[in-house]
Amino acid sequence: MQKNYLSLIVLALLMFSNLVTFGKPQNRVIPPKSIRHTLDKDELLRKKAEELAHKFIIVDGHVDLPYRLHGKMEDVSVQTAGGDFDYVRAKKGGLSAPFMSIYVPADLQRKKGFSKALADSLIDMVETLVKQYPDKFALAKSPADIQANFKKGLISLPMGMENGSPVESNLANLQYFYDRGIRYITLCHGEDNFICDTSYDTTNTWRGLSPIGRQVVREMNRLGIMLDCSHISDDTFAQVVALSKAPVIASHSSCRAFTPGFIRNAPDNLIKAMAKKGGVIMINYSSMFLDSVSNKTYETKRTHLRQWQKEHNLVPKDSAARAYEALYDKEHPTPLTNVERVADHIDHVKKIAGIDYVGLGSDFDGVGPTLPDGLKDCSQLPNLIYVLLKRGYSEKDIEKICYKNVFRVWNKVAEVAKHF
């Protein structure tokens, strides 16, 4: 009988403890076992994503930090208020090898000497970052350099040139920029240039590559500079893939299958052609590259602004044009997609070409306002890895996406150069 009384007392105390914690009433809800299992699995996947983001080298094909600092100098050794990249956020997200974009606007190519001068100044800027913060950043001219820097805990700053206009029709300048550390060149930008036609211009000056453009392709192969097919027209893209003796890249492009009519993105046939030659497409994170709704909104804005600037005899850099664009953006915001959509593009490349032919090319500091939810800056890279893990991607798959695919291309380009 005494045992029964004791049991009742213990039971009462247990029931009381479920209702009261530190003197405050609590509604203790125990989720069903299936939900607890899902929550536990999700937590483990997020932890795994964080782990892999720091275990693997992560190469980003395109970060516009140099041009961002050209506009407004900031100390990126600490966390900055603006922009998408700095040392603190890169370390948090595991970004270990962002290609510094040596971006040269298309309008400079009409002024002799201006393109090359800007390219040199931006390369100087990257070199200065390394000299100022040798405990944080290091230059990298090869995959081996990146691996060595990674072991030391340093963030590598390889360089790619966005727009071939600094070459200025002088093939000797390709050797010059190679010696300065340039390891890929995006052949053009927003306008046709002396090398080729762009995706953003309907002029179709050369119907692809120009005569000297074909020489540029050969010389880049000879030197070991990767050919970047982002920004170029479909005709140019097809001709570059066919003419190049080495695999090529698209440093910051997404899949046109998701944005019909947006020529800046790569169509399936050219992604397959590039893959067949061993190349890699590096997915751009901008919502306007990822999603048709965002893209159509952006294209409407772009058309409207061009017409408005023309009517008011202005160019995009003019203060009045910038003010009007800011007002337009406020009244007509571009709808944003999310990190899942980046994974959709990776899925698509994997489906049509294979896991060996896709990488990451954020366009951080170049498309800031249009970055998707979950990938607002480089600190959030584990979110993408988490989505890939959730979709069944293996560690081996993720390692390829993070760096192995682009390392394969880069090493092959260097190998081809040795046989010229």
Query: Over the stretch 320-329, which tens digit does the pLDDT of each residue have?
Result: 998 999 999 8
Long-range pairs of 345-349 with CB within 8 A, sequence gap ≥ 24: 345/254, 345/255, 345/258, 345/283, 345/290, 346/283, 346/388, 346/401, 347/391, 348/255, 348/257, 348/258, 349/255, 349/271, 349/281, 349/283
pLDDT tier at 417, thresholds 50, 70, 90: very high
Please report which helix (H) or strand (E) contains residue 97, including its range: strand 97-103
Output the furthest CA–CA distance in the chain (Å, rounded): 103
What residues make up the domain containing 152?
A: 31-291+335-418
pLDDT tier at 2, thresholds 50, 70, 90: very low
393 pLDDT above the threshold of 90: yes
Q: Give the three-class secondary structure for 133.
A: coil
Alpha-carbon distance of 260 to 263, in angstroms, equals 8
Q: Which CATH number belongs to the domain containing residue 121 in this structure?
A: 3.20.20.140
Residue 244 placed within a domain: yes
Domains in the chain: how many in total? 1
Q: What is the DSSP string of 141-167?
A: SSHHHHHHHHHTTPEEE-EEEE-SGGG
Over residues 99-142, the pLDDT tens digits come to 999 999 999 988 888 999 999 999 999 999 999 999 999 999 99
Average pLDDT of the segment spanning 295-323: 91
Closest C-alpha to 345, from 262, 417, 255, 419:
255
Residue 278 placed within a domain: yes
**Residue ranges of E strands in 304-410:** 358-360
Q: In Å, how far from its chain's centre is CA 32?
A: 41
Residue 311 placed within a domain: no
- C-alpha radius of gyration, the chain, whole number: 25
Residue 136 placed within a domain: yes
pTM higher than 0.75 for the full model?
yes
Q: Share the mean pLDDT of the chain.
A: 92
pLDDT tier at 315, thresholds 50, 70, 90: confident
27 pLDDT above the threshold of 70: no
Alpha-carbon distance of 147 to 142, in angstroms, equals 9
Residue 300 placed within a domain: no
Residue 142 placed within a domain: yes
The per-residue pLDDT for 111 is 84
Exposure b/e, 238-251, CB count within 10 A at least 16 = b: bbbbebbebbbbbb
pLDDT tier at 308, thresholds 50, 70, 90: very high
**Rounded to the nearest 10 degrees, how much is the dihedral formed by the CA atoms of 340, 342, 346, 348?**
80
362 Cβ contact partners less than 8 Å away, ≥ 6 residues apart = 60, 61, 62, 63, 84, 252, 284, 285, 375, 378
30 pLDDT above the threshold of 90: no
155 Cβ contact partners less than 8 Å away, ≥ 6 residues apart = 87, 90, 91, 95, 96, 97, 98, 136, 137, 138, 149
The per-residue pLDDT for 32 is 58
Closest C-alpha to 283, from 379, 155, 406, 196:
406
Residue 68 placed within a domain: yes
Alpha helices in 152-291 (DSSP H): 172-179, 211-223, 234-243, 268-276, 287-290
Alpha-carbon distance of 133 to 385, in angstroms, equals 29
Residue 302 placed within a domain: no
Asked whether the beta carbons of 359 and 281 are under 8 A apart, the reply is yes
Average pLDDT of the segment spanning 19-34: 50
